[in-house]
């Protein structure tokens, strides 16, 4: 396994641009971390979770799904070069694994897989989280992984695509003891948050959370929809058309189950017409409904909804209140 300095890493990523559309965490104009092209800002590999959902490279906020003119219907084409995306955390890789499943099972979402097929996923882990936080090592959930030893990055390759890329990297060989030490640190990370949402999930599955609880949460919800829009496992979208004289374009855009219109029927009746029901759904879907449907929790604890919620009712905060109130019952 090679060790790359930040400079070597940049050279390595630049060389990958020959075959890939490379997306990497950068600092935007005011220092906000986001995905971008290598030369669009200074590299910001370290710093933990990227605030916006990283899966938006495959499922963006708004995209064309077909164009109709007087002669033909045109579907979006796969890009010539596949994507190479750096910046997934181990939790993000879990999210991606789930939405891959979601978009391929039963009905395959070609628009999503146009971007996803052939894409190389690079996780970032180790001693480079926000405020010195250690980021869990993802392992074989990704193609390549950059494991930070506090200064430089160990380059771990897991898949054929990852290994082929890693061969081009320029760096000294890492000492096994370093890798073992980092793995040990990763394995010993506390699992408090996981235990918390598992406990919350159990309460929901056993129907131990009364209706009035949700009202106390939804009273604080300002329906900004941010929790949905930053969640890497939220997959809902709405469809709309734009017509000009020469063509019609059909687009899709992110939707939010926190909006009344999300499930309002044409009649106007809405089975989710109350805020407390919508708030319940947001949590219940990830921690109970998906457990029943997919056999897994679909909150991977990335923390984005807790960070982005203006009133402090992200999923972890709500689970904490829920478990505090009903956990011992």
Judged by CB, which is closer to other proteins: 206, or 219? Answer: 219
- Of the candidate residues 17, 19, 97, 238, the single one contacting other proteins (CB under 8 A): 238
- Of the candidate residues 73, 181, 240, 294, the single one contacting other proteins (CB under 8 A): 240
3-state secondary structure 68-108: EECCCEECCCCCCCCEEEEEECHHHHHHHHHHHHHHHCCCC
Positive or negative CA dihedral for 195, 198, 202, 203?
positive
Judged by CB, which is closer to other proteins: 61, or 104? Answer: 61
3-state DSSP call for residue 123?
A: strand
Judged by CB, which is closer to other proteins: 66, or 259? Answer: 259
Interaction of residue 52 with other proteins, rule CB under 8 A: yes
DSSP assignment letter at 133: P
What are the structure tokens assigned to 237, written together?
Answer: 């979208």
* Candidate ranges 4-12, 49-57, 166-174, 181-189; the one touching other proteins (CB under 8 A): 49-57
Interaction of residue 74 with other proteins, rule CB under 8 A: no
Determine the Cα–Cα distance for residues 197 and 300; give it in Å rounded to an integer: 10
Q: Which of residues 111-130 bind other proteins (CB under 8 A)?
A: none
**Residues 3 and 149: beta-carbon distance below 8 Å:** yes
- Of the candidate residues 6, 74, 117, 219, the single one contacting other proteins (CB under 8 A): 219
Of 165, 133, 156, nearest in space to 3 by CA: 156
The strand pairing partners of 243, in sequence order, are 248
Interaction of residue 168 with other proteins, rule CB under 8 A: no
- Of the candidate residues 188, 244, 292, 328, the single one contacting other proteins (CB under 8 A): 244
What are the structure tokens assigned to 186, written together?
Answer: 């990763």
What are the structure tokens assigned to 16, written together?
Answer: 């990958």
Interaction of residue 82 with other proteins, rule CB under 8 A: no
**Residues 257 and 270: beta-carbon distance below 8 Å:** no
Interaction of residue 259 with other proteins, rule CB under 8 A: yes
- Of the candidate residues 22, 34, 83, 203, the single one contacting other proteins (CB under 8 A): 34
Of 184, 168, 167, nearest in space to 176 by CA: 184
* Candidate ranges 82-90, 96-104, 260-268, 284-292; the one touching other proteins (CB under 8 A): 260-268
Q: Are strands 21-27 and 42-43 parallel, antiparallel or unpaired?
A: antiparallel
Interaction of residue 295 with other proteins, rule CB under 8 A: no
Q: What minimum distance in Å lies between the beta carbon of 79 and other proteins?
A: 11
Judged by CB, which is closer to other proteins: 165, or 229? Answer: 229
Interaction of residue 66 with other proteins, rule CB under 8 A: no
Q: Which helix (H) or strand (E) holds 258?
A: none
Neighbouring CB atoms inside 10 A of 205's CB total 14
- Of the candidate residues 73, 164, 222, 236, the single one contacting other proteins (CB under 8 A): 222
Which positions lie near other proteins, rule CB under 8 A?
28-34, 36-37, 40, 51-52, 56, 60-63, 219-220, 222-226, 229, 238, 240, 242-244, 253, 255-256, 259-261, 268, 307-312
């Amino acid at each position: 396994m090679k060790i790359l300095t930040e400079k070597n890493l940049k050279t390595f990523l630049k060389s990958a641009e020959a075959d890939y559309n490379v997306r990497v965490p950068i600092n935007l104009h005011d220092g906000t971390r986001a995905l971008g092209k290598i030369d669009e800002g200074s590299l910001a590999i370290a710093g933990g979770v990227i605030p916006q959902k990283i899966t938006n490279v495959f499922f963006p906020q708004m995209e064309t799904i077909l164009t109709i003119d007087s002669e033909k219907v045109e579907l979006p084409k796969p890009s010539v070069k596949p994507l190479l995306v750096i910046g997934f955390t181990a939790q993000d890789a879990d999210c991606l694994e789930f939405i891959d499943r979601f978009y391929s099972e039963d009905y395959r979402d070609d628009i999503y897989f146009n971007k996803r097929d052939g894409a190389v996923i690079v996780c970032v882990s180790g001693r480079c989280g926000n405020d010195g936080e250690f980021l869990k090592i993802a392992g074989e959930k990704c193609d390549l992984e950059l494991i930070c030893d506090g200064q430089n990055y160990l380059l771990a390759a897991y898949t054929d695509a990852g290994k082929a890329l890693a061969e081009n990297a320029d760096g000294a060989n890492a000492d096994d003891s370093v890798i073992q030490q980092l793995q040990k640190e990763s394995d010993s990370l506390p699992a408090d948050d996981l235990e918390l949402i598992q406990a919350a999930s159990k309460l929901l599955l056993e129907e131990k959370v009364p209706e009035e609880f949700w009202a106390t949460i939804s009273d604080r919800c300002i329906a900004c929809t941010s929790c949905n829009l930053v969640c890497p496992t939220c997959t809902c979208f709405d469809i709309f058309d734009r017509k000009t004289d020469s063509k019609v374009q059909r687009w899709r855009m992110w939707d939010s189950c926190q909006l009344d219109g999300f499930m309002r029927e044409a009649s106007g009746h809405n089975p989710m017409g109350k805020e407390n029901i919508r708030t319940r759904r947001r949590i219940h879907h990830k921690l109970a409904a998906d457990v029943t449907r997919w056999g897994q929790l679909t909150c991977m604890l990335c923390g984005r909804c807790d960070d982005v919620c203006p009133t402090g009712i992200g999923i972890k905060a709500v689970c904490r209140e829920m478990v505090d109130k009903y956990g011992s019952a």
